[in-house]
Amino acid sequence: GSIGKDGYRHYMEKELHEHPLVIGQTLQRMVDPASRRVLLPELPFDLAKVPRAVITACGSAFFAGMIGRYWLEEIARLPVDIDVASEMRYRNPPLTEGSLGLLISQSGETADTLAALRSLREKAIHIVSVLNVEHSTMARESDVVLGTVAGPEISVASTKAFTAQLTVLACLTIATARARGKLDTLAEEHLVSALLDLPSRAAEVFNQTDAIRAMAQLVVEARDVLYLGRGSMFPVAMEGALKLKEISYIHAEAYAAGEMKHGPISLIDRTVPIVATVPSNALFEKTLSNLQEAKARGGRLLVFTDTKGAERVSAIAEQMVVLPHVHDFVAPILQTIPVQMLAYEVAVLKGTDVDQPRNLAKSVTVE
Ligand code: AGP
């Protein structure tokens, strides 16, 4: 049957509001709330013996993979390669037998990702796919499917599938870390608690809708927008820039905040808004000083932060959105939500066809 918009203006708006729900549903499938432990489906290989992972995906799913790499490397101490699926085969990376091929896709039908999956298949790699459509072509060709429980995503711009992918990758990280002896029970409980807390924190993001709309008023006037982030917030910036381009047709570029001084800072003047994602973490001060440099050159700062960072950020930002402070581990999941909401509000102001942006298809079945 057809799915309604439940009173929302667009499917995208409805799906944005489903973030808390789908994070919760996905966790329900992967976490035992009583013991606060992650439960993976039975695997046909030993996670402890995997020497390396290669992650591949397209578009937003690729950015989810980049955040997954931060987690797998930092928490599970597993070396990770990552490529966009359309390029992976050309790099033809030498892969150790028994490595983990981690494919991420909402639809499970993306031609580039499917081709990457098949090329990994030839190399005695374990194929684990993170998929929203569990009866898809990629599902049939994978050794293991880790399902995102996001429900059907209608809007061409991916929203809730992305946070569900991150939720699965976070759980996979915890299970991998445990298998590799990098996480004791107490530490696992701590990380799982941060995940279980997330649906409530995500629901609070919608209290910031007015602040996000105020930001959108500044972005909609721009021809170019620069998105900045450091560490696991860099892929969040990339996701924000892609979403803005995709549905508002405004040119946006994401940069690792520290890389700006190596080139793009020359672009900055009052006409280029700078959208930055800066929760209070170990990289907070460094990112803030990058923003100061941009401001000194006339840059207008639109900043997403959290309650702990708000005071410092308010001193330099023209507009700011303050989210609840959460554990560093889950911060990229939470910070993604307002960044996607900003793109949505800008597109609404521009009056574009939000759910069906020009030239784009929901699932791209050609290479
Ligand atoms: C995201 O907003 C885009 N529409 C696009 O980048 C998408 O994430 C990409 O095409 C991958 O699709 P998939 O997850 O279905 O494989």
Of the pLDDT bands very low, low, confident and very high (cuts 50, 70, 90), residue 363 is confident
- Give SS3 for 66: helix
**What whole-number distance in Å separates Cα of residue 79 and Cα of residue 93?**
14
Q: From ligand 1's centre to the CA of 58, what distance in Å?
A: 6
Specify burial of residue 94 (Cβ count, 10 A radius: 0-12, 13-18, 19+): exposed
ipTM of this complex prediction, to 2 decimal places: 0.98
pTM above 0.80, yes or no: yes
Give, using CA atoms, the residue closest to atom 6 of ligand 1. Answer: 59
132 neighbors 26 (Cβ within 8 angstroms): no
The predicted structure's pLDDT at residue 1: 47
Going from the C-alpha of 231 to that of each of 71, 72, 255, 258, 279, the distances in angstroms are 11, 13, 11, 10, 11
Residue carrying the six token digits 């003047």: 269
Q: pLDDT for 307-348, tens place per residue? A: 999 999 999 999 999 999 999 999 999 999 999 999 999 999
Q: H/E element holding 91?
A: helix 85-91
Q: What is the CA radius of gyration of the chain?
A: 20
| 11-55 tens-digit pLDDT | 999 999 999 999 999 999 999 989 999 999 999 999 999 999 999
The structure tokens listed for 25 are: 């549903």
Of 12, 60, 160, the one to substitute when testing ligand 1's pocket (max ligand atoms within 8 A of C-beta) is: 60
Which residues line ligand 1 at a C-beta cut-off of 6 Å? Answer: 58-61, 105-107, 110, 113, 156-158, 246, 363-364
Which pLDDT belongs to residue 317?
98
Choice from 131, 245, 247, 364 to test ligand 1 binding pocket (greatest atom count within 8 A of CB) = 364
Residue 308 annotated to the active site: no
Backbone region of residue 300 per phi and psi (left: phi > 0; alpha: psi in -120 to 50; beta: other values): beta
Instruction: Report the C-alpha gap between 367 and 85 in whole angstroms.
Output: 10
pLDDT-derived band at 3 (thresholds 50, 70, 90) equals confident
Closest C-alpha to 154, from 1, 49, 33: 1
Q: What is the mean pLDDT of residues 117-144?
A: 95
CA atoms within 13 A on the CB side of 82: 23
Query: 105 CA distance to ligand 1 centroid (A)?
Result: 7
